[in-house]
Amino acid sequence: MHRLKILMGAIALALVLAGAAFAVNTGTADFTTYVALGDSLTAGFSSGSLNRTYQVNSYPALIYRQATGKTTGFEQPLVSEPGLPGILTLASLRPLSIVPSGGSGQPLNLGLQRPYNNMAVPGARLHDLLTKTQSTSANDITDLILRKLGFTQLQQGLSLKPTFVTLWIGNNDALAAATSGIAIPGVTLTPVEQFQADYTAVVNAIASTNAKMALANIPDVTSIPFVTTISRFIVNPATNQPVLINGNPVPLIGPNGPLQAGDFVLLTATAELAQGRGIPTALGGSGLPLSDTSVLSAAEAATIKDYVNNYNAIIAKAASDKNAAFVDTNALLKDLAVNGIHLGGITYGSAFLTGGVFSYDGVHPTAFGYAYIANAFIGAINAKFGGDIPLVDLYPFVFGPLPKRAGKTPPPVVAPAEELTGLVFTAEARRSLLQSLGVPQWIVDGTRRPRPHRGN
Amino acid sequence: MGRALSIVALATLAAGPLHAAGFSIFEQGSKATGMAGAVTAQADDPSMLFYNAGGLAFVEKSDFSVGATWIRSTKADFQGAGVFPGPNYSAEQETLSEFPPHAYWVQPVTNNFKFGLGVETPFGLTTSWKNPNQFAGRFLSTKASLMAFDLNPTIGWRVTPSFGIGVGALVRYSTVELNRHVPTINPFTLQAADIGALKLKGDYSTGYGFNVGLLHRVNESFSWGLSYRSKVTVDYEGDARLTQISTGNAQFDAILRAQLPFNTKLPVKTSIDFPDQASLGLAFGLTRNLMLETDVNWMGWSSFKEVAIDFTGGATNSLPDTTLAQNWEDVYSYRIGLNWTVSPASQVRFGFVYDQTPQPEEGVSPLLPDADRNGFCIGYGHTQGFRYDVGLMYLDFKSRTTNKARPEQGPFFGTYKTRAVLLGVTANF
């Protein structure tokens, strides 16, 4: 009896092991050749950096590992530590200091003799999938992924004849307006008609390969800590409590006067706040208003929300038309903000630094956040295609160490240590973040928008 | 000597891992243990005070009995699954060795009125995870223990020569201790980290209830019994203590120290509603020497809805109140026992019990992973000269898998496997 149990146990174990390696039930979805299209979120960008540690745990890499049981065969444009640009780290909580690591990483997979499976380009907008073939500025890392081959992200990805494609695009068509604090339809916000036309063109191109699809929608900008962390009221840095005058908190001064309910102060405002901007002279500030790029007004936020709703309607319709799995990241992040994620007594939320889901740039997820997103994709894919792809085991993302499986192991690149100084969001950190989000160069540089008819 | 031993045993009042579904301990006499507790319609030794007070009515001479049940868990494993802690994770509980005691004194007062005094340990549990500082479920529980013993004075009345009633009072002394770690997200690593170990202790507190029993010895070959023990609520007061655990970052540790009441007594209140229980037994004399009994035992575990932990230390010496939802269900267990009188001096017993868990799937957690179980029993009684009983039970828990979570705690998915052996020894004087 006992021996029989051992034997049966051994058989069961062998089946489990075999199952892990070979026999994942993916339903009618086929992950033999999986291509991921998108932007920084799909690339695995985290803490202001494209970095191997996070790339190998990007949500497409996790989906591939879960769906195939394999750790090789999913090629990405890996970048060595400390990433491109150097990854942000927390140097100090008081005063709050987040700084980029010194040095920069090197491309590790530039010589791959075929397009990458993860074709996502940080900073890409929807239209870039159809048109952009190379970098357009010094900080643009498009060339790292598209390699000046003269083909777009979409063309390169589809040239692999994918059996499955995930598409999470459109974030930068709206989010860039939020992170730059400037919402101008047609400039930082893609017009809805154009979004409709481009999205249709992209999903039609994918559909023409007969690949099955998963399409993800766009989160609400007010669900990310980049927008929600800093109070619109003046805070005493010593106590972290609002300064009260006659019992009332005092709003910061924005470009249009005192900030009103519904206005958001962006994380990038920290540098200006440290200089006293936004704070009246009577309270020890410079009396100068915060700049327009530091504030997302209630009206701007409403405009962006409107656009996102329109984009999301287009994405949902496309998913239904193309019989694609639909991943509602908008609902996912709202739920995170309202209810949090609970795991074995641990609570994750959307708070900056202590929520565990968003990285030091306040926009991109942590490794845990990406694993959670991967599970949302897997859940949607299983539901649509009748598979039983196991969800990502979150244990290493909760307690570490992060999985390191990525095929080839590159030589470590030793970066010169730099002194950890400076305030949250140095100009350099801001620049790299905005680049990753496709913010127009003139906003990144702080110059005026070129407008010939409005001579300046 | 026996009395001295019993005092030692009571002084070490210890509870074991789970042995009757939930945290009930139904092994309160070694004769009964040999028959898997199917004795409600027999109730013919002093443990009747626990199993069926109706039996007290028939006592004809003074008797004293004392014993304990050695409960030894031989296996208590956890295999993870799902998103957390995942299929690559496994853990083990400490194997426990505990000795919940029992002692009974019965005394005829008149022909028809009898008095009895019992000391029982009707509830108890200990769940203690190995390597608590690494255990993945440490934010739910690292160690939990509960002990309850009853002082049970009882009066028996023989209404007719074949029908007896017993009525008793339950004075329950109980203590409870809960240990877990407190997590945060470490902003320097953006991963989960321990910031403290929280120990909550409800000091010995008292609750009251009653019990009644009926026993009808219809004839030589048939009797039936009915027994009921009431619900008892114990309100505990005690202290919690949060001991800081370093996150590895001195600056963050200092900020936490400024925000949390580490290393001080935090007054706390909690309460447990112990369930009521009822048993119906039918005993059949198959031959002169062979007695078969079948019992159904009901436990009103739906009383165990939650454990609310209230911190009463005001603004400074408090942590947020918490409520551990339980929402258990009423359950039945089914027992069958056989007593074979081999000779005037010796009896051999067999028993089997199937016991259902009252715990819903979403409540299965490292704090108290419960399961359905089968108990296989064998016993021996020496009934002349130095009288004693020995009962041995092998308790095989069905493996319990949980893929459901309470939303406030989140997934801790996997399968719990438990096995235990119980050895009861009772001496009668």
Per-residue pLDDT of A112-152, as tens digits, reads: 999 999 999 999 999 999 999 999 988 889 999 999 999 99
Cα of first residue to Cα of last residue in chain A, in angstroms, is: 90
Spans of all domains in chain B? 2-428
Say yes or no to pLDDT of A81 above 50. yes
* pLDDT of the residue at B74: 84
What distance lies between CA B209 and its chain's CA centroid?
A: 17
Which backbone phi and psi does A381 adopt, to 5 degrees?
-65, -45
Report the pLDDT averaged over residues B399-416: 93
Q: Which of B80, B183, B191 sits opposite A345 (nearest CB)?
A: B183
- Kindly identify which residue of chain A lies nearest to residue B89, measuring between CA atoms: A395
pLDDT band of residue A443 (cuts 50, 70, 90) is low
Q: Does B128 touch chain A (CB under 8 A)?
A: no
Quote the mean pLDDT of chain A. 86
Strand positions, DSSP E, B344-413: 346-355, 373-382, 387-397, 400-402
Domain that holds residue A353: 26-221+299-411
Distance from CA of A398 to the nearest CA of B (A): 6
* pLDDT of the residue at B254: 93
Cβ contact (<8 Å) for A393 and B185? no
User: What is the rounded CA–CA span in Å between residue B360 and residue B403?
Assistant: 11
* pLDDT of the residue at A137: 86
User: What is the rounded CA–CA span in Å between residue B150 and residue A326?
Assistant: 59
Count the helices and strands in chain B (H runs, E runs). Answer: 4, 21
Q: Does B316 touch chain A (CB under 8 A)?
A: no
Say yes or no to pLDDT of A300 above 90. yes
Q: What percent of chain B has pLDDT over 90?
A: 86
pLDDT band of residue A102 (cuts 50, 70, 90) is confident
Phi-psi category of B263—alpha, beta or left, where left has phi over 0 and alpha has psi -120 to 50? left
Report the pLDDT averaged over residues B410-428: 94
Three-point CA angle B95, B98, B102, nearest 5°: 160
Provide the domain count of chain A: 1
* pLDDT of the residue at A182: 87
Q: Does B414 touch chain A (CB under 8 A)?
A: no
Q: What percent of chain B has pLDDT over 70?
A: 95
Number of CB atoms found within 10 A of residue B425's CB:
17
Q: Which of B84, B180, B184 sits opposite A343 (nearest CB)?
A: B84
- Report which DSSP code applies to A320: H
Q: Does B197 touch chain A (CB under 8 A)?
A: no
pLDDT band of residue B228 (cuts 50, 70, 90) is very high
Cβ contact (<8 Å) for A343 and B140? no
Which ipTM value was assigned to this complex? Answer: 0.87
B419 contact residues in A (CB cutoff 8 A): none
The reply to whether A204 falls in a domain is yes
Q: Which of A139-143, A237-241, B370-374, B419-423 has the lowest mean pLDDT?
A: A237-241
Q: Does A91 touch chain B (CB under 8 A)?
A: no
Report the pLDDT averaged over residues B262-289: 95
- Kindly identify which residue of chain B lies nearest to residue A365, measuring between CA atoms: B190
| CATH number for A401 | 3.40.50.1110
How would you label B281-299 residue by residue, b for 16+ Cβ within 10 Å and e otherwise? bbbeeeeeeebbbbbebbb
* pLDDT of the residue at A139: 82
Q: Does A423 touch chain B (CB under 8 A)?
A: no
Q: Which of B85, B188, B191 sits opposite A344 (nearest CB)?
A: B85
Q: Does B207 touch chain A (CB under 8 A)?
A: no
User: What is the rounded CA–CA span in Å between residue A377 and residue A371?
Assistant: 10
Strand positions, DSSP E, A212-316: 212-216, 235-236, 241-242, 244-245, 248-249, 253-254, 257-258, 264-265, 295-296
Distance from CA of B34 to the nearest CA of A (A): 25
Distance from CA of B167 to the nearest CA of A (A): 45
Q: Does B322 touch chain A (CB under 8 A)?
A: no
B331-343/B97-98 β-pairing = unpaired
DSSP B77-95: EEEE-TTTT-TT-EEEBPP
The closest of A118, A105, A170, A132 to A316, measured between CA atoms, is A170
Q: Which of A86-90, A391-395, A414-418, B181-185 has the lowest mean pLDDT?
A: A414-418
Q: What is the pLDDT of residues B117-173, one digit of tens each?
A: 999 999 998 999 999 999 999 999 999 999 999 999 999 999 999 999 999 999 999
Three-point CA angle A357, A363, A366, nearest 5°: 30
Number of CB atoms found within 10 A of residue A14's CB:
10
Domain B2-428: state its class: mainly beta
Cβ contact (<8 Å) for A355 and B185? yes
* pLDDT of the residue at A410: 37
User: What is the rounded CA–CA span in Å between residue B138 and residue B129?
Assistant: 8
Distance from CA of A363 to the nearest CA of B (A): 14
Q: Which of A93, A346, A393 sits opposite B251 (nearest CB)?
A: A93
B87 contact residues in A (CB cutoff 8 A): 390, 393
A392 contact residues in B (CB cutoff 8 A): 83
Q: In sequence order, what are the beta bridge partners of B304? A: none
Strand positions, DSSP E, B23-85: 63-80
Quote the mean pLDDT of chain B. 92
Q: Does B135 touch chain A (CB under 8 A)?
A: no
User: What is the rounded CA–CA span in Å between residue A77 and residue A60?
Assistant: 13
Report residue B375 as tokens. Answer: 């108990």
User: What is the rounded CA–CA span in Å between residue A163 and residue A153?
Assistant: 17
* pLDDT of the residue at A432: 65
Give the pTM.
Answer: 0.87
Q: What is the pLDDT of residues A338-350, one digit of tens each?
A: 999 999 999 999 9
pLDDT band of residue A393 (cuts 50, 70, 90) is very high
A225 contact residues in B (CB cutoff 8 A): none
Contacts by residues A182-191 (CB-CB < 8 Å, ≥ 24 positions apart) = A182/A292, A182/A293, A182/A300, A182/A443, A183/A296, A183/A300, A183/A301, A183/A303, A183/A304, A185/A303, A185/A307, A187/A440, A187/A449, A188/A439, A188/A440, A188/A443, A189/A303, A189/A304, A189/A307, A190/A125, A190/A126, A190/A127, A190/A307, A190/A311
Q: What is the pLDDT of residues A16-63, one digit of tens each?
A: 444 444 589 999 999 999 999 999 999 999 999 999 999 999 999 999
Distance from CA of B247 to the nearest CA of A (A): 12
The closest of A105, A104, A103, A100 to A420, measured between CA atoms, is A100
Q: Best residue in A372, A393, A397, A420 to probe B by mutation, most B CBs within 10 Å?
A: A393
pLDDT band of residue A419 (cuts 50, 70, 90) is very low
Say yes or no to pLDDT of A408 above 60. no
Say yes or no to pLDDT of A417 above 60. no
Asked if A126 and A198 count as a contact pair (C-beta separation under 8 A), the reply is yes
User: What is the rounded CA–CA span in Å between residue B127 and residue B206?
Assistant: 23
Q: Does A445 touch chain B (CB under 8 A)?
A: no
The closest of A133, A131, A128 to A115, measured between CA atoms, is A133
Report the pLDDT averaged over residues A172-190: 89
- Kindly identify which residue of chain A lies nearest to residue B364, measuring between CA atoms: A344
**B66 three-class SS:** strand
* pLDDT of the residue at B225: 97
Say yes or no to pLDDT of A409 above 60. no
Chain A / chain B CB contacts < 8 angstroms:
95
B409 contact residues in A (CB cutoff 8 A): 342, 344-345
Q: Does A346 touch chain B (CB under 8 A)?
A: yes
Report residue A366 as tokens. Answer: 């942590």
B80 contact residues in A (CB cutoff 8 A): 395
Q: What is the pLDDT of residues A198-213, one digit of tens each?
A: 999 999 999 999 999 9
Q: Best residue in B185, B198, B322 to probe A by mutation, most A CBs within 10 Å?
A: B185
Q: Does A420 touch chain B (CB under 8 A)?
A: no
The reply to whether A288 falls in a domain is no
Q: Which of B187, B191, B408 sits opposite A398 (nearest CB)?
A: B191
pLDDT band of residue A10 (cuts 50, 70, 90) is low
* pLDDT of the residue at A5: 55
**A370 three-class SS:** helix
